Chain A
Amino acid sequence: MTTEARLGSVANYVDERTGAAAWMKKNLQKVFPDHWSFLLGEVALYSFVILLLSGTFLTFWFDPSQREVIYDGSYEPLEGLKMSAAYASTLHISFEVRGGLLMRQINHWAALIFMSAIVAHMMRVFFTGAFRKPREGNWIIGIGLLTLGIVEGFLGYSLPDDLLSGTGIRIAEAIIQALPVVGSYLAYFAFGGAFPGEAFIPRIYTVHVLLLPGAFLVLITVHLMLVWYQKHTQFPGPGRTEKNVVGYPLMPTYMAKAGGFFFIVFGVTAFLAAVASINPIWLFGPYTPGQITAGSQPDWYMGWLDGLVRMAPPIETHAFGHTISWNILIPGLIIPGILFTGMALYPFIESWITGDKREHHLLDRPRNAPNRTALGAMSLTFVMVTLLNGGNDIIATHFDLSINQIMWGTRFGVLILPPLAFVITKRLCLSLQRADRELVLHGRETGTLLRLPHGEFVEVHEPISPEKAYLLTSHEQAPPLELPAIDAHGVKRAGALRNKLRSRMSIANAEAIPKVSATELKEIEHH
């Protein structure tokens, strides 16, 4: 039987039972637009798969128990010491299981890359406005994935029960304990009694290995299905409209490129795991609450939280026999809560400001949405300042600075620098718009000088291609909302204050350098 005939009989077998040919024929030809920044989400997706694979390997040897054992493995500096079975089994994986250390390192590097890719992908989606209708739901799912990723990573590196991650668990317990009214109860329920107890590691193992991966699988599936069904967005350009998708078909081009990229992500992760040591828990020692190491930090995706907690003013209220630790609740729960809620609701906030209720499938070039881009820069600055403070002791020792100076610097910096970043970024966007306008009207500066017959020197400008001109002028420039405070009958409208705020924000949002029109271009051409 020829290959074709063999394939044919397999296809026939499946199709007779499922009717698969109908939907497969459509989907094998599905068109995907091409841009390198669209691969950031893929990096996250593939990292997730790598985490599942390497993680499963680890579960075959890891013992998630806090019962005390005496170490008798091959690592001499810990010989005969008391430690939990979790820590001892992690040592066993690292030193006696062939490929064990590699898998541990792949799991941890993949986690770091997973989180970096999620953040980079989120930034791409944000700065290009891909979260607008009809993709608001997918954005919220994405914020959910980001939040779950932070928790999953924290739980993952806490499983070995070493000195560094145990310290992190102590801090997590202090946050739970600080909750008003229910704090001590929730802490005792989570830990099965007093800290550290013997129940926490086994319980977070279940969360890390079963519950959260299950949640990820569901959320990622919905996330991808939405992208599949709603079709991916695309950058503006010649031939691209709100009503089409321009790109390459799934089979064979995208299968090869996207499939190949999975191996690239896995390969780069394995490369990092081969050449860069990560989380050497045998050097940290087993966790005991009486010990601590200088330079205690969580992994980077929680570093900004650590930085916030460090810079918090020492405020606690004691009243009527009760204590509320604002110095823990505000940086640890309230500020992150506001931040993540704001992020999740942003598509709705933006459509409220712009009054734009239409579908968008063409992306914005970030410069053409100056307010949004400036807001993103502001949030990034906030995260970077807090992240810096999270590592203030490491920075101090390496750059000969003082932790006190860095702390005060970031205390003020976190309030001053983000608004500064907003203003600077907005101005940068507007000047880029101006540069675009110049480019369309006057063409590209070639650097060649020409002497005119009457003696004047001019720089030769090369007109840009019609494709480029279209790219630089195809974006929308919506005017601000019209929200009169007084309606047609002279009555003051309800919600006047809200409308005033909305109107003000809408005006600020609509600030832009007017793009070049066809009429203007014609005038220039006749110049």
Chain B
Amino acid sequence: MSNEIEAIKDPGLPAHVHRKADTDPKAAKRAERQVASMFLMSAFGTVLLIFSFFFIPDDVFVFVPILGNQNAHQLGLGLGMAISLFFIGMGAIHWAKTLMPDVEVVAQRHEFRSTDSDRKDFVSAVKEGAAASGLGRRSLIKRSLGAALGLSALSPLILLRDLGPLPGKELEKTTWKTGTHLVTDPGNRRIKASDLEVGAVAQVLPEIEDPEHRKLSDIAKDAVLLIRLRPEEFNLEADRLAMTHDGIIAFSKICSHMGCAVALYEQQTKHLLCPCHQSTFDVTRAAKVIFGPSARPLPQLDITIDDEGYLVARQPFSEPVGPSFWERNSQ
């Protein structure tokens, strides 16, 4: 134990070393001038800020080394503010360092623990107060108080009920129904199968009555990605193959992991990459997950063409789109 071995003695605070400004009045004057020039620099910064604010138009650009072409108004404002603040600080600190007393002072720490008599007094004060309230004796008061307080805690929770509607079955439904036309996003134009070349990709939404006022909450579930491959490139079960049309396949664009838009399509590998967490989906195998944290493939939309050759959905999505939730009943 270190107590048993004699420790090296504390030599005490080292002797105070004086600064130049402490002993030499010329050095002190120099320090004073340095502090003053810093404060003056700050004033210059403020002037620069005011000047830039009122007099530099915001369409003037200057070339600054390292930064490139900079907007003069913004740069003047920013640098002016930075200089005006920074040099007040520098001046104050330099003043403290060179001219204010720097003799180390020793102060004593005090014991936190209260005296034993104070502690006793505290305990008896609490005890007497509790006894005086009568709470201990009057169990009827105690129980009814408990009930009142407990119930009143429910009120704020109840009052927050209207924060939102209950989800109901909404998470499981999208706008896609049997016969819904696929339209371009943006543009809202119907798409014919022949419009797409092999290797082509299209961002697609369901056709609605009022496309100018599509709700973002609908887009968050309706967004679909249309991809055309050569039919022989598919590696699908018969039922999934039947959901494609002549090499065209459609998937929900909303990532099955956490809901980002999955739209990075690699034409050569036929992989879809989600840029949020790098989940990778194989289009030839019905968007099966081949890398990354997503646990489910992207839902596939069953598509076909109508009599005019436009692409339509044959039925709604057979499973909820987007991220998982407790009530999601996956096969």
Do the two chains touch directly in the complex (Cβ atoms below 8 Å apart)? yes
A271 B79 Cβ-Cβ under 8 A: yes
A193 B165 Cβ-Cβ under 8 A: yes
Does residue B91 face the partner (Cβ distance < 8 Å to A)? yes
CB distance from B294 to the nearest CB of A (A): 6
Inter-chain CA distance A231–B263, complex, in Å, is: 57
- Which of B53, B258, B292 has the most chain A CB atoms closer than 10 A to its own CB? B258
Instruction: Name the interface residues of B263-298: CB closer than 8 Å to any CB of A.
Output: 263-264, 275-279, 289, 291-296
B91 A260 Cβ-Cβ under 8 A: yes
What is the interface size of chain A, counting residues whose CB is below 8 A from a CB of the partner? Answer: 120
A102 B278 Cβ-Cβ under 8 A: no
B89 A167 Cβ-Cβ under 8 A: no
9-residue interface stretch from A174-182, A348-356, A422-430, A498-506:
A174-182
Instruction: Name the interface residues of B1-29: CB closer than 8 Å to any CB of A.
Output: 1-2, 5-14
A466 B11 Cβ-Cβ under 8 A: yes
B7 A290 Cβ-Cβ under 8 A: no
CB distance from B149 to the nearest CB of A (A): 23
Inter-chain CA distance A289–B255, complex, in Å, is: 11
CB distance from A474 to the nearest CB of B (A): 7
Q: Which residue of A lies closest to B220 (CB)?
A: A289
A246 B104 Cβ-Cβ under 8 A: yes
Does residue B166 face the partner (Cβ distance < 8 Å to A)? yes
A184 — which chain B residues lie within 8 A by C-beta? 167, 171, 325-327
A274 B78 Cβ-Cβ under 8 A: yes
Chain B contact-residue range equals 35 or more
CB distance from B107 to the nearest CB of A (A): 4
Q: Known: A263-B85, A316-B324, A519-B6. Contact between A195 and B278, CB under 8 A?
A: no
A231 B328 Cβ-Cβ under 8 A: no
Kindly count the residue-residue contacts between A and B in the assembled complex, taking CB atoms under 8 Å apart.
Answer: 329
Q: B2: which of A193, A292, A515 is its contact (CB, 8 Å)?
A: A515
B296 A170 Cβ-Cβ under 8 A: no
A102 B170 Cβ-Cβ under 8 A: no
Q: Which residue of B lies closest to A297 (CB)?
A: B276
CB distance from A246 to the nearest CB of B (A): 5
Does residue B128 face the partner (Cβ distance < 8 Å to A)? no
CB distance from B19 to the nearest CB of A (A): 13
B289 — which chain A residues lie within 8 A by C-beta? 314
Does residue B155 face the partner (Cβ distance < 8 Å to A)? no
Q: Which residue of A lies closest to B221 (CB)?
A: A194
Does residue A366 face the partner (Cβ distance < 8 Å to B)? no
CB distance from A178 to the nearest CB of B (A): 6
CB distance from A315 to the nearest CB of B (A): 6
A112 — which chain B residues lie within 8 A by C-beta? none
Q: Known: A238-B11, A479-B1. Contact between A260 and B93, CB under 8 A?
A: yes
Instruction: Name the interface residues of A207-257: CB closer than 8 Å to any CB of B.
Output: 230-231, 238-239, 241-249, 252-253, 256-257
Does residue B228 face the partner (Cβ distance < 8 Å to A)? no
Does residue A439 face the partner (Cβ distance < 8 Å to B)? no
- Which of B12, B109, B294 has the most chain A CB atoms closer than 10 A to its own CB? B109
Does residue B108 face the partner (Cβ distance < 8 Å to A)? yes
Instruction: Name the interface residues of A434-480: CB closer than 8 Å to any CB of B.
Output: 440, 466-467, 469-470, 473-474, 476-479
Q: Which residue of B lies closest to A521 (CB)?
A: B8
Inter-chain CA distance A309–B91, complex, in Å, is: 47
Does residue B92 face the partner (Cβ distance < 8 Å to A)? yes
Q: A196: which of B67, B216, B291, B292 is its contact (CB, 8 Å)?
A: B216
Q: Known: A189-B164, A267-B87. Contact between A288 and B170, CB under 8 A?
A: no
Inter-chain CA distance A275–B29, complex, in Å, is: 35
Does residue A516 face the partner (Cβ distance < 8 Å to B)? yes
Inter-chain CA distance A393–B280, complex, in Å, is: 13
Q: Known: A171-B258, A183-B326, A323-B326. Contact between A271 and B295, CB under 8 A?
A: no
Chain B contact residues, majority secondary structure: loop
9-residue interface stretch from B95-103, B116-124, B236-244:
B95-103
Q: Known: A102-B81, A260-B96. Contact between A244 and B257, CB under 8 A?
A: no
- Which of B217, B292, B324 has the most chain A CB atoms closer than 10 A to its own CB? B324
Q: Known: A246-B104, A392-B278. Contact between A241 and B10, CB under 8 A?
A: yes
Does residue B219 face the partner (Cβ distance < 8 Å to A)? yes
Does residue A361 face the partner (Cβ distance < 8 Å to B)? yes
Q: B13: which of A230, A231, A239, A324 is its contact (CB, 8 Å)?
A: A239
Does residue A321 face the partner (Cβ distance < 8 Å to B)? yes
Q: A244: which of B81, B107, B258 is its contact (CB, 8 Å)?
A: B107
B92 A290 Cβ-Cβ under 8 A: no
CB distance from B56 to the nearest CB of A (A): 10
CB distance from B120 to the nearest CB of A (A): 22
Instruction: Name the interface residues of A296-326: CB closer than 8 Å to any CB of B.
Output: 296, 306, 309-316, 318, 321-325
Inter-chain CA distance A129–B260, complex, in Å, is: 43
Q: A274: which of B77, B164, B294, B325 is its contact (CB, 8 Å)?
A: B77
Does residue B182 face the partner (Cβ distance < 8 Å to A)? no
25 contacts between A and B (CB under 8 A): A31-B105, A98-B58, A174-B257, A184-B325, A188-B164, A188-B166, A192-B163, A247-B104, A260-B88, A271-B82, A287-B216, A289-B216, A289-B261, A291-B261, A292-B260, A310-B292, A314-B279, A315-B295, A323-B327, A325-B323, A327-B257, A392-B278, A407-B292, A466-B11, A470-B9
Interface residues, chain B, CB within 8 Å of chain A? 1-2, 5-14, 53, 58, 67, 73-75, 77-79, 81-93, 95-97, 100-102, 104-109, 112, 160, 163-167, 170-171, 185, 203, 205, 216-217, 219-221, 223, 253-254, 257-261, 263-264, 275-279, 289, 291-296, 322-331
10 closest cross-chain pairs (CB), A and B: A274-B78, A267-B86, A260-B92, A263-B89, A239-B13, A316-B295, A264-B89, A267-B85, A174-B258, A256-B96
